[in-house]
Amino acid sequence: MRLNFPFLNGAQNKTLFIIGNGFDLYHDLLTKYKHFYSWLILNGHEQFAADLQIICPKLDNNIETLWSNFEKALGNYDLKTAYQYFYKSPDELLGDNKYKIASLSASDNVRNLCKKIRPLIKEWIRQINTQNIKPKIELSKESWYLTFNYTRTLEDCYNIPKEHVCHIHGCVDDYEELVTGHDYKRILKIYEAKSDEEEIAKQKIINTFNNLAKNKKEQLEKNETFFESLPEIKHIVVFGHSLADIDYEYFGKILTLTKDNAIWHFSIQSNNIEDENRIEAFKKWCEQSANHFCINVGENIKL
Question: Taking the chain (303 residues) in consecutive chunks of 10 residues, what is each chunk's mean pLDDT?
Answer: 86 96 96 94 95 77 71 89 83 64 88 95 95 93 97 96 96 87 80 79 93 92 94 94 91 87 88 86 87 84 82
pLDDT at 177: 84
Whether residue 54 contacts residue 161, with contact meaning beta carbons closer than 8 Å, is answered with: no
The torsion defined by the Cα of 93, 95, 97 and 98, in degrees rounded to 10, comes to 20
Pairing of strands 263-268, 165-167: unpaired
pLDDT at 62: 56
pLDDT at 208: 95
DSSP secondary structure code for residue 236 in this structure: E
pLDDT at 73: 87
pLDDT at 60: 53
Alpha helices in the chain (DSSP H): 21-26, 33-42, 46-55, 65-68, 70-75, 79-86, 98-115, 117-126, 153-158, 196-210, 216-222, 224-229, 248-258, 273-288
Nearest to 181 by CA among 220, 148, 222: 148
